[in-house]
């Protein structure tokens, strides 16, 4: 990247300038986010464009404040500027605000009732543009545009995907333990825009978001038999994925979203299959007697991690995505299940049963480098954050059996609870749309 | 041959069911007070049958005659214990004597299995039970299997100390599909059985 070298010095000086905020051993960039101007204040469905401009700046600050790499300031206390200046900042006017980088942009009403949101990131030291984004969105969707801007800035600074526009689907569990009511829910990564996609009449499990966040594949007991269904992420267009009378479950999208790996059980033998996301005839990948399930693609789509009890206990295996070269990678003790490949490809998260509890760990795709991250009574169903920094999982409380979503940093530390309106299970975190 | 007998049986059932004001499958009536009316044919020897008894009544009969509608397993296991085999042998006899009732063999796993594996294990257990029943003479078309994974723990198995109780297969009776039913009425308010 051509900005990289200049940027490194920038972060270094920024960290020096703001050593109060900088965490030990970590460079942090101070980012000024003044409010977005509008060429003409127009009333839209989402409010006046001038107000949206303030809200977008606030949202960007709020998003970036959750990161360690960026310390955002504003929009209060920062000077106003004109939409013309957004694309050509007057650098001398931004000197002396103690920031290493500047966010500008504008909000403009369109003739069709939507709005244009344009945002830029400038390196104040080298006086160069680092990235820019432009969106034409419904006025009510200004927040998503703000999330995407924040994500682009985070990516420009850290070279990692930002989480801000990512979504989480999970199973909301109410009712009693013997008669649970399960609904598929979806929300933004920060818990906003929470919606239910199924209504609880039928037991559902294992919702998985497609990489673009547009579709959800899940398992349903509709018709009395576990089978896979797929729907749009707003709950519409719900349909059965397979024309099969055998039970199918454990779905997961390939990284390009074009195919879905899953398990099908026929007469006591569960194997892994792949099918086109639009349906069609599934292709069988494993034939071992015993249970092969929980497939998860590598980010390049060339390999699949899965669990199998062919050795006598559940263990984690990796194979090529055509089913060849199946080999075991988990040798760290206990029975190991639910492998999920990290988006950066470096690790596989898994759940380990020790005989007394189930815990979440990570290992390298070649096996080894194991690290256990949690020590709950029952922690399972891992799912990666888009930046591969966090593992979200389901924690079941001893005694009540109540489930909740938690996330733990792969660096270690205590898990943090993810707020959901009801007890929750089976999280799936989407990728990030660039 | 059996299929033809089943069709005939269900045709008979369809006529008599509507005459009696019953709701046919898939809307089986919940048991009402005084239900079933006394004097309805019970047990074997009435084939081809008159009106099929309500499923809860038949299930009670199965539990009494076979000892249990449930067989249990150890963790991760799908092996039938001698006790389970005795129960299933009795269940098989009952099913052979009631050819006009289908059975759904429902496999479960305990709540401390991971979700995907629990579904697979429930299916493996159900398949093991079905195969035993078929070997004991039950016609395969009378049986279907389904796995509930860990989604339906029993009331016995919700406590931490007893979670293994959920490793089980339950034989759930179903009326055969109404093959000749040309039209399925909407669910109606529950009609009271005629005394």
For the segment A66-99, what is each residue's pLDDT rounded down to a tens digit? Answer: 888 899 998 988 889 999 898 899 988 888 888 8
CB pair distance less than 8 Å for A381 and B149:
no
Asked if B132 has any chain A CB less than 8 Å from its own CB, the reply is no
pLDDT attached to residue B191: 62
User: What are the E-state strand segments in A278-341?
Assistant: 283-284, 292-297, 303-308, 315-320, 327-328, 335-341
Q: Which residues contact A420 (CB under 8 A, 6 or more apart)?
A: A170, A172, A185, A187, A191, A194, A404, A405
No. of H helices and E strands in chain B? 4, 4
pLDDT attached to residue A422: 92
Q: Which residues of B touch A378 (CB under 8 A)?
A: 112
pLDDT attached to residue A141: 87
Cα distance between residue A94 and residue A319, in whole Å: 54
pLDDT surpasses 80 at B89: yes
Which residue bears the tokens 């682009």?
A: A152
- The ranges of chain A with pLDDT < 70 are 1-26, 432-434
Report the relative pairing of strands A424-429 and A167-175 from DSSP bridges.
antiparallel
pLDDT attached to residue B48: 40
Is the pLDDT higher at B104 or at B32? B104
Cα distance between residue A57 and residue A55, in whole Å: 5
For the segment B107-119, what is each residue's pLDDT rounded down to a tens digit? Answer: 999 888 999 999 9
pLDDT attached to residue A223: 85
Nearest CA-CA partner of A107 in A148, A60, A52, A44: A52
pLDDT attached to residue B35: 42
Residue of chain A minimizing CA distance to B150: A178
At residue B173's C-alpha, the angle toward residues B122 and A174, to 5°, is 55
Asked if B107 has any chain A CB less than 8 Å from its own CB, the reply is no
Which residue bears the tokens 């990161």?
A: A67
pLDDT surpasses 70 at B177: no
pLDDT surpasses 80 at B188: no
pLDDT attached to residue A220: 95
Cα distance between residue A364 and residue A64, in whole Å: 30
Cα distance between residue A110 and residue A131, in whole Å: 23
Tell me the count of A-B CB pairs closer than 8 A. Answer: 96
Is the pLDDT higher at B2 or at A134? A134
C-alpha distances (whole Å) from B114 to each of A216, A338, A359, A364 are: 21, 7, 11, 21
C-alpha distances (whole Å) from B156 to each of A2, A243, B88, B160, B163 are: 65, 36, 21, 10, 8
pLDDT attached to residue B181: 44
For the segment B5-63, what is each residue's pLDDT rounded down to a tens digit? Answer: 555 455 444 444 444 444 445 555 554 444 444 444 444 433 344 446 788 888 999 99
At residue A139's C-alpha, the angle toward residues A136 and A145, to 5°, is 55
CB pair distance less than 8 Å for B76 and A309:
yes
Cα distance between residue A102 and residue A92, in whole Å: 12
User: Biggest alpha carbon distance in chain B?
Assistant: 50
Query: Taking residues B164-189, what's their average pLDDT?
Result: 71
CB pair distance less than 8 Å for B155 and A178:
yes
Query: Taking residues B75-103, what's their average pLDDT?
Result: 92
Asked if B135 has any chain A CB less than 8 Å from its own CB, the reply is no
Residue B174 binned pLDDT confidence (cut-offs 50, 70, 90):
confident
Cα distance between residue A329 and residue A407, in whole Å: 25
DSSP sequence for B62-116: HHHHHS-SEEE--TT--PPPHHHHHHHHHHHHHHHH-TTSEEEEEEE--TTS-HH
CB pair distance less than 8 Å for A294 and B116:
yes
pLDDT attached to residue B46: 37
Percent of chain B with pLDDT over 90: 44
CB pair distance less than 8 Å for A293 and B120:
yes
No. of H helices and E strands in chain A? 5, 31
CB pair distance less than 8 Å for A206 and B149:
no
Phi and psi, residue A158, nearest 5°: -105, -10
């Amino acid at each position: 990247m051509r900005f990289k070298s200049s940027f490194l010095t920038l972060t270094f000086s920024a960290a020096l300038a703001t050593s109060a905020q900088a965490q030990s051993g970590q460079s942090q960039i101070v980012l000024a986010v003044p409010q977005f101007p509008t060429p003409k204040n127009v009333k839209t469905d989402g409010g006046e464009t001038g107000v949206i401009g303030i809200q977008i700046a606030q949202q960007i600050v709020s998003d970036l404040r959750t990161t360690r790499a960026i310390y955002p300031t504003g929009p209060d206390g920062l000077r106003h500027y004109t939409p013309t200046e957004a694309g050509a900042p007057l650098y001398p006017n931004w000197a002396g605000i103690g920031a290493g980088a500047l966010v500008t942009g504008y909000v403009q009403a369109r003739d069709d009732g939507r709005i244009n949101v344009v945002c830029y990131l400038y390196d104040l030291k080298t006086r160069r543009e680092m990235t820019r984004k432009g969106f034409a969105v419904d006025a009510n969707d200004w927040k998503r545009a703000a999330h995407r801007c924040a994500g682009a800035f985070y990516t420009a600074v850290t070279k990692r995907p930002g989480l801000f526009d990512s979504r989480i689907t999970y199973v909301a569990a109410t009712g009693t333990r013997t008669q649970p009511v399960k609904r598929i829910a979806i929300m933004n990564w920060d818990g906003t825009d929470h919606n239910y996609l199924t209504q609880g009449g039928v037991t559902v499990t294992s919702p998985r978001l497609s990489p673009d966040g547009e579709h959800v594949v899940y398992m349903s007991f509709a018709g009395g038999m576990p089978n896979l269904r797929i729907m749009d992420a707003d709950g519409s267009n719900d349909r059965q994925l397979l024309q099969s009378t055998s039970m199918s479950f454990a779905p997961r999208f390939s990284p390009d979203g074009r195919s879905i790996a899953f398990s099908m059980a026929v007469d006591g033998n569960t194997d892994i299959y792949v099918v086109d996301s639009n349906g069609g005839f599934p292709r069988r990948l494993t034939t071992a007697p015993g249970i092969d399930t929980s497939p998860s693609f590598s980010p390049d789509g060339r390999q699949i991690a899965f669990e199998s009890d062919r050795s006598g206990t559940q263990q984690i295996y990796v194979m090529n995505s055509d089913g060849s070269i199946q080999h075991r990678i988990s040798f760290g003790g206990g029975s190991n299940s639910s492998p999920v490949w990290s988006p950066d490809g470096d690790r596989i998260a898994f759940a380990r049963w020790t005989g007394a509890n189930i815990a979440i760990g990570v290992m390298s795709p070649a096996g080894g480098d194991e690290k256990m991250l949690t020590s709950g009574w029952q922690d399972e169903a891992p799912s990666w954050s888009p930046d591969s920094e966090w593992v979200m999982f389901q924690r079941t409380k001893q005694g009540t059996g109540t489930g909740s979503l938690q996330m733990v940093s792969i660096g270690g530390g205590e898990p943090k609870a993810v707020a959901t309106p009801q007890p929750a299970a089976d999280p799936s975190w989407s990728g990030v749309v660039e | 041959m059996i299929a033809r007998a089943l069709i005939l049986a269900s045709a008979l059932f369809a006529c008599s069911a509507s005459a009696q004001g019953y709701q046919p499958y898939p809307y089986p009536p919940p048991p009402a007070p005084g239900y079933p009316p006394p004097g309805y044919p019970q047990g074997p020897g009435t084939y081809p049958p008159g009106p099929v008894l309500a499923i809860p009544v038949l299930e009670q009969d199965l539990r009494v005659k076979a000892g249990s509608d449930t067989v249990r397993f150890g963790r991760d296991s799908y092996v039938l214990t001698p006790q389970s085999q005795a129960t299933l042998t009795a269940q098989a006899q009952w099913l052979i004597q009631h050819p006009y009732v289908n059975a759904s063999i429902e496999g479960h796993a305990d709540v401390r299995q991971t979700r995907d594996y629990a579904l697979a294990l429930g299916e493996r257990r159900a398949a093991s039970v079905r195969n035993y029943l078929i070997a004991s003479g039950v016609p395969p078309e009378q049986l279907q299997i389904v796995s509930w994974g860990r989604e339906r723990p029993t009331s016995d198995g919700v406590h931490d100390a007893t979670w293994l109780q959920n490793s089980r297969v339950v034989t759930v009776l179903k009326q055969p599909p109404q093959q000749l039913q040309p039209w399925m009425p909407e669910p109606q308010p529950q009609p009271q059985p005629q005394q």
